[in-house]
Structure 1
């Protein structure tokens, strides 16, 4: 792994999250973390350019750049054109300095990826895993898979700076504990971060899988968009909300739970959550399969439904289109309320082509406020099956590379070791 300085590098993060910046005497390079935020855009810059951009004294920039070089988070990147004398060196963010893990756990699948510090997957494992097997079984599989990926990539604990995990149910993000998840028996209140941190003393962050899909799609496919609504249509239905370039989770992590919003014309349909009339009960993959089976059309999985639509099966195409219209009824309200620039439709049923999205567009554009839809685009997701692990990795990266946390680590690395003499 490339390093930019001969001094031993500092780990980016160890243990619990920092709670504030480091600015006191002997803190190494206070403000180096803020400088790193500027450089994370991947554009090489000289020390003089950084001084001009930040308004800092050249001596201050030198201290911060040197600290980031020693940590490995910054690397030399050639030389700028000379204006007289020796050409100045440019420096660039080094995403290969460390690795993070992103884990996307669905109802019946699990993807785990080792990524660099931009969220780009370096290696990945995808297997069929049943979330209903319970937290111990599933998380032990996750731990074993992470260990395998680290071993295969020849990485050790000092290379790993965080783990992000997405779960298919409501999550209290502050604690990482699932909260009454409808399809996850035995998971309610389980200490997911604690289970994983028993094996690695690094930050473990947990969130709802759709939130992380929204984060992954935003970062990889639509980084220029400030306001985005990601809707997953699969075995269940949910949404992730990006507003002002920030993921909105709500008071207890329940924001975006579209699947259990009541559809007025379906008041007699029982949902897995115990209520009746939920959107998920009438427009999810499970609901479409149930409808097709009753009509004599063989379909057992969402993949079967997608195959039927792609092969021109009329009942399947009509059922998926109607599901899109029903979802559009709920999204019309969301669009008027949240005013996103972009609605992205993802999940396994989005692979059915235009049938689903056409139904969504039809209703949203017809029922939402004209001001809200004047420039609104409704598009299919483009990141693919990796969107969940990329989002989970991005969550871990944002935590590990936050300015105050980088400052804390640089400060701890520059402090003299404690000896027996004190």
Structure 2
């Protein structure tokens, strides 16, 4: 790693482990003086703070320093086909507050995004935090997204969203960077960061109203040339032949294995099932028809995943989304087909399991997306340079000093209290 600035030191410390200046010097090869000069702006900004309680080795104890996740906030939104969740997190991705509302993505971008900004405003007010504490906003949407611009690209279930400038709309209320990605990509980020940090080749599969996946290969989230990598819900499967999908094509996996399709099948059997949650409730109650329908959906999904296993060779497939809450029945169907059809070498060490992050995977991933952008080493270096330059000019430009002091105050929280929570 480049050890050239404060941002690189912060990158090291963001793993949450307290370290002494000597530790940092040993890791980077920098001298103690260089370490201290790079730490100074991080300490002034509140991004790094001393941690008490270092073990005594006799004599004066060495001061330990750690990343302060309470130095700012990230706003994280997880928008699905029929719901939206807005959350505020600290800079480690820990959810501080969240609100979920049933909301149809088909109602259009303005109503959905206005709900997000209105909810975020209310959350800040309830927490008594200023909007300036937010470093960035991350948003997950249930369709292909051009990641560089944050604009949805021909999303099949999002009428009115194609090419809509999501960041610009949110920035009318919150003037901070806004990062937008496919919702399942963010679930993959959240699951990997919080539960599977050592998994470099994994697929996160969301099974809910829609079906999609986030693909991590070689430790990197794969978005593809146009942002549609992982859009597996519209791959054709054999049992879907002749069945019309809401995207306008036939034989799509989603048309027979998504929550609406399973619920419709159960209604045909005389059961009350409208949503994915209704299906899960029936499965958990032991209803045989619901169990069989979910198991068959797993087999259909396994047919699609068999192709992915051969193409990508993951070591882990994580299943999330509302239908994953039905327990082992969905996953058993997936395993049945994947293990039967894939080559033994591809499945020898393949683990197919349920998400451990659960419903919060999306907002955690959105938070990670926002924080990784805001605290990228080169951006932290730029902020530190501005802070130090203003300090050198304090006798000539009091207005600039006041501006930087306000920036520092915005990034700071009650450092001792936050670190007590982070390192009890």
Q: TM-score, normalised by structure 2?
A: 0.89
1:245 aligns with 2:207: no
User: Equivalent residue for 1:313?
Assistant: 287
Counterpart in 2 of 1:281?
255
Residue 82 of structure 1, CA deviation: 6.2
1:354 and 2:331 correspond: no
Q: CA RMSD in A?
A: 2.1
Cα distance between partner residues in 1 of 2:242 and 2:53: 69
2:387: which partner in 1? 413
SS at match of 2:159: coil
1:99-110 aligned at under 5 Å gives the runs 99-110=73-84
- Contact kept in structure 2, 1:46 and 1:91, CA below 8 Å: yes
Preserved contact between residue 79 and residue 88 of structure 1 (Cα < 8 Å)? no
SS at match of 2:121: helix
Higher mean displacement: 411-420 or 204-213: 411-420
Contact 1:79 1:87 in 2 (8 A): no
- 1:274 aligns to what SS in structure 2? coil
Q: Of residues 367, 376, 379 in structure 2, which corresponds to 1:393?
A: 367
Partner of 2:412: none
1:86 aligns to what SS in structure 2? Answer: coil
Cα shift at 1:359: 0.4
Tell me the matched-pair count.
396
Pick closer, same or farther for the CA change 1:82–1:385 going to 2, 3 Å: closer
Note if contact 2:41-2:387 (Cα within 8 Å) is conserved in structure 1: no
Q: Which stretch has the larger CA shift, 221-230 or 34-43?
A: 221-230
**Given the alignment of the two structures, is residue 384 of structure 1 paired with residue 358 of structure 2, yes or no?**
yes
> Residue 381 and residue 82 in structure 1: after superposition, are their counterparts in 2 closer, same or farther (change >3 A)?
closer
- Point out where structure 1 has 5 or more consecutive residues left out of the alignment: 1-22, 24-28
Superposed, 1:138-287 pairs within 5 Å as 138-287=112-261
Deviations along 1:244-290, one digit per CA (max 9) or x if unpaired, are 22211111110000001111342211111111111111111111122
Specify the SS of the correspondent of 1:96: helix
CA contact (8 A) 1:46 1:80 kept: no
1:42 aligns with 2:48: no
**One of 109, 114, 133 as aligned partner of 1:135:** 109
For structure 2, which runs of at least 5 residues remain unmatched after alignment?
Answer: 401-424
- In structure 2, the partner of 1:33 is 7
Q: Deviations over 1:21-76 (max 9, x none)?
A: xx9xxxxx951111111111111111111101111122111111112111111010
Counterpart residue number, 1:374: 348
Structure 1 position 116 matched with structure 2 position 90: yes
Q: When the two structures are superposed, what TM-score results if normalisation uses the length of structure 1? A: 0.90
Q: Tell me, in whole angstroms, the C-alpha distance in 1 between the residues paired with 2:104 and 2:258.
A: 19
Higher helix share: 2
